[in-house]
Amino acid sequence: MPLASKIVGRTLRLPAPLTEDVEVEADIAVPMDDGVVLLADRYTPRHPSLSSPMPTVLVRSPYGRKGWVGLIFGRLLAERGLQVLVQSVRGTFGSGGTFEPFDERTDGLATLRWLREQPWHTGRIGTTGPSYMGLVQWAIADEVDVMAPSVTASEFRNQAYGGGSISLDLALTWLLVLDVQERRLGPVWMLQGIRRTLPRVLSSDLPVGQLDEKVFGRAHDNFRRWLEESAPDSPYWSSHDFSSNVGVGDTPVQLVGGWHDIFLPWMIEDWRALRARGRETQLIIGPGAHTSVSVQGVSSRESIAWLRAHLLGDARLVRDTPVRVFVGGGGGWRDLPDFPPPGTREAVLHLQPGGGLDAPAPGADAAAAGPSRFEYDPADPTPAVGGPMLMEQRPVRDNGALEARDDVLVFTSSPLNIDQEAIGPVRADVFFRSSLEDTDVFVRVCDVDPDGVSRNVTDGLSRLTPGEPRRDADGVAWVQFELWPTAHRFKRGHRVRVQVSSGAHPRYARNPGTGESPLTAVRLVKASQEVFHDAQRPSSVTLTVV
């Protein structure tokens, strides 16, 4: 393990270890309130400068305690002076009971009570970990002393139904990982499922409510529950929403994400709530997506500094600025006092007749050109190309093939005369008419280099249903929605491009156009779509620019 820790530590560019002498106590039994026993491993650093007992970092994981979890969140932290307890959540990797996704508060609180009674622990308790391992931190945020969650949010419902459509690829991929991870040769089963089974099933099979039978060979209770419990006020999601814990007490919280992470918009919401309540917090956003090695490296480095500062009183490595972001397009890392930074303004780019994109709104004569039109066929859904997806390793891609499709409208600016940096929220305002009441609008912003290569920067989707948003007398809806926030430099000589389409499958489940439940819909209806860009209906994208 020391050789593995050296290799991974260098790959993640971690600070030098304090010690390689780490004691590991495996399979510690931790009793829960209902008598179920969860298993945990304790990693304790041995060094003359460290006293015992000492503070503890609690890591609760559904992905096991050994392997990559034990290495990254156990040994690597312990080698840098932090005592860590890595626990398998209920129903996973030897822990008793049945795994119920997101139901983590009761067991988390029981673990904290048990931890505080152990003779080897004293003082404060910290937490760290990404994704689901971050949600379990928010479940007990009001009872811990310091937190360092990454690529996560305090509630998962909004991500599960991004823009009103179920995040189909995310749901099935994550459940597949959980389903096979404890099998013999689990990683092989996982790769086969992700690379072969899922693409085949997602490309054609309907209804969506029975895709689990194709993937798992059986009905999957959690998948079907998520489809059935789609309403924003669903009791299921309300009972697993931990946003009320954000900013409770005086817990310092560090949040680390990536610009193409699936949880980014909601992680920033948590950060804003912490700031509004005057809590000590730090926001760090790097390049990459949810499972990118680059994001894991940033998270590991920054969380070690944050936890050492607040548990051991060693603030030498922690940053003294509240915000640090990576500016894409060659802008590099930037320390900021806030997000977006002071002095920014809104820059509105209007869609123009003929495929142009410009700051001035279309003139009075633009109406004569009529709206831009395309046809969306859910039997051949517009594909997702890069962007925020669970297992995406290349989130930024050449969009040329996507933009050549007949179901994607493209609006492009003239070459820029100066560098232009967008740092902050991005909003779409699209005046849209469809032959169907049930349809989707997908908007993406791209950076087009002088060679004509179009690379995605940010995007988002909004689902239209009967009466929402309201249509005018001509059946035109004003569709307003937020895209992923961004930090990107559009260089001089580059062009800004906006795509408008009606999907990004299977990142978002295709809209069948019939208004039927996604559980049962098998009939697919083509939609005739129109995007307006005239003086009365000026469609646009708004960037926050420096």
Q: What is the pLDDT of residues 107-134, one digit of tens each?
A: 999 999 999 999 999 999 999 999 999 9
Distance CA 282, CA 350 (A): 35
Arch. (CATH architecture) of 345-545:
Sandwich (2.60)
Nearest Cα neighbor of 378 from 529, 227, 262 is: 529
Closest CA to 15 of 71, 64, 80: 80
Amino acid at site 127: T
How much is the pLDDT for 35? Answer: 97
Q: Are strands 357-358 and 495-501 parallel, antiparallel or unpaired?
A: unpaired
Q: Nearest-CA neighbor of 266 among 417, 381, 131?
A: 131
Residue 456 vs residues 156, 266, 466: alpha-carbon distances, Å: 25, 20, 31
Which phi and psi angles does 418 have, rounded to 5°?
Answer: -140, 165
CA nearest to 378, candidates 407, 401, 409, 410: 407
**CATH class for the region spanning 2-152+251-320:** alpha beta
Q: Which segments of the chain have a pLDDT < 50?
A: none
- The Cβ of residue 217 has, within 10 Å, a number of other Cβ atoms equal to 9
C-alpha neighbours within 13 Å on the C-beta side of residue 361: 10
Range(s) of the chain covered by CATH 2.60.120.260 = 345-545
Residues linked to residue 328 through DSSP beta bridges, in sequence order? 488
Write out the residue limits of the CATH 3.40.50.1820 domain(s) in the chain: 2-152+251-320
Question: 256 - beta bridge partners?
Answer: 150, 284
Buried/exposed 54-67: b ≥16 CB within 10 Å, e otherwise: bbbbbbbbbbbbee
- CA dist 354 to 226, 338, 405, 532, Å? 42, 39, 17, 11
pLDDT of residue 1: 62
Exposed, middle or buried by CB within 10 Å (0-12, 13-18, 19+), for 86? buried
Q: Is the peptide bond before 53 cis (omega within 30 degrees of 0)?
A: yes
